Amino acid sequence: MEAVTVNGRCAPGFEGVRSAFERNFREHREIGAAVAVTLDGERVVDLWGGLADATGSRAWGPDTLVNVYSSAKGMTALCAHLLVERGALDLDAPVARYWPEFARAGKEAIPVRWLLSHRAGMLAPREPLAEGRAYDWDHVCDALAATAPWWEPGTAQGYHAVTFGYLVGEVVRRITGQSLGTFLRSEVTGPLDAGVFIGTPVEEHPRCADMVGQLNAAQLRERFPDLPTPPVRGLADHPLAGVALALTYVPTGDVNSAAYRTAEIPAGNAHASARGLAAVYAALAGGRLVRPATLEAMRTSQSRPDEPDLALGALTPEGPCAAHRWGLGYMLNDRGQAGPNPRAFGHGGAGGSFAFADPENGLAYAYVMNRYGGGTSGADPRSRALVTAVYAALAEVRGRR
């Protein structure tokens, strides 16, 4: 491929991150991407390059936004933790305290904590959504409130790929009177001047990159042939039914459309720049958003040792997320995808985006891109190469001091 011009800067000692970023274009067919790293509150890596669309008509800029899929979950969880900080939300209280309608179908005792840790058994309603209804917040929440859990809540974990955002987001809305995206913007990303949106305003759409190569419904069925195709007779009794319905709960239209970008799907359609995500995680790492006790709770495992994930394990039994530890809304650093500190925490997104905080090292990291590649675990080789380079640079820089 043609050489790609990489723009931006690296602080002295971090030049290896630029080299790794450039290699991603040569070796991993990167189209457009950005990476940002802060250390002790200072931005030490700020790089971008490539194209914002498949046609080559737009260059990637320093503040280009792109759909980061499930990297949105870290932002959604943060909103809940801010309410905990303020005494407005008790994670051990029943969800029904804040959302009374949720008490139906045997869910009256499910605590908020289990929503954040993927233990509520609420992968999806029992019936697939009609076309376009994923954009109807009240319709989705009503369907979830009426749904019985797919397993006994609290006894197992299973990644709530799409419903996580509606479940946590509705609790936030019931407490604050604001949608999740509005609350995030008013309380976090606006004050930080961070380019992160859940429900991206139309005026921001011109700086959104197009996602290229994402899987559609037919490709998902081809990739995961054992999944039932809803609706089918007896679907509720199929062992993979919840996973199948979770996948159908994603809007089937174009993820580059204005309708998708403007909608609020807080588990999966944040549009963010690398600078923006890094700014939020830097504020977390630096203790500027929550107190130390809340920070510790966010990254404390809610999983049993070696506990399988019923949803991710069903899709990829040998994959990096088949057994995974969840914090309170965050992926824990089980496999070094967030560097050598086991206490680092963050969230990845389908396609390959990844962002995390490493409070012990005063470091925050964010990588975003528009070529749909790896899964949500942070194990995409493009991000792994960048993270490896970041920590090699950090060791060298600190070794000189």
Q: What is the mean pLDDT of residues 174-201?
A: 98
How far is the C-alpha of 24 from the C-alpha of 163, rounded, in Å?
A: 32
Q: Tell me which residue range forms the domain holding 95.
A: 59-336
Question: Which of the pair, 56 or 12, is modelled with greater confidence?
Answer: 12
The structure tokens listed for 213 are 């190569």
Tell me if 368 is assigned to some domain. no
Average pLDDT (9-16) is 97
Percent of the chain past pLDDT 70, that is, above it, reads 87
Has 273 been annotated as catalytic? no
CATH number, domain with residue 246: 3.40.710.10
Determine, yes or no, domain membership for 183: yes
Confidence of residue 217 (pLDDT cuts 50, 70, 90): low
| DSSP helix/strand/coil, 85 | helix
What's the average model confidence in pLDDT over 124-134? 78
* 1 in a structural domain: no
User: Can you tell me which residue has the tokens 């000692």?
Assistant: 13
State the average pLDDT over residues 271-281: 98
pLDDT of residue 305: 87
Domain for residue 38, yes or no? no
Model confidence over 352-362: pLDDT tens digits? 999 999 999 99
Comparison of pLDDT for 265 and 131, the residue scoring more = 265
Please say if the pLDDT value at position 7 is more than 90.
yes
Residue 392 covered by a domain: no
Task: Say how far apart CA 364 and CA 15 lie, in whole Å.
Answer: 17
Among 27-31, 304-308, 364-368, 391-395, the range scoring the smallest mean pLDDT is 304-308
Residue 355 maps to a domain? no
Contacting residues for 191 by C-beta, under 8 A, at least 6 apart? none
Exposed/middle/buried for 172, CB within 10 Å: 0-12, 13-18, 19+? buried
- 85-99, 129-143, 238-252, 282-296, range with the lowest pLDDT: 238-252
Which one of 57, 70, 301, 353 is the catalytic residue?
A: 70
Whether 122 shows a pLDDT value over 80: the answer reads yes
Residue 234's pLDDT band, with cuts at 50, 70 and 90, is very low
Cα 251 → chain centroid: 17
Report whether 270 contacts 198 (CB < 8 A): yes
Identify whether 244 is part of a domain. yes
At 254 the three-state DSSP class reads coil
Looking at the structure of the chain, the number of domains it has is 1
Beta partners for 309? 157
Whether 367 maps to a domain, the answer reads no
In 3D space, the residue among 374, 373, 382, 371 whose CA is nearest the CA of residue 53 turns out to be 371
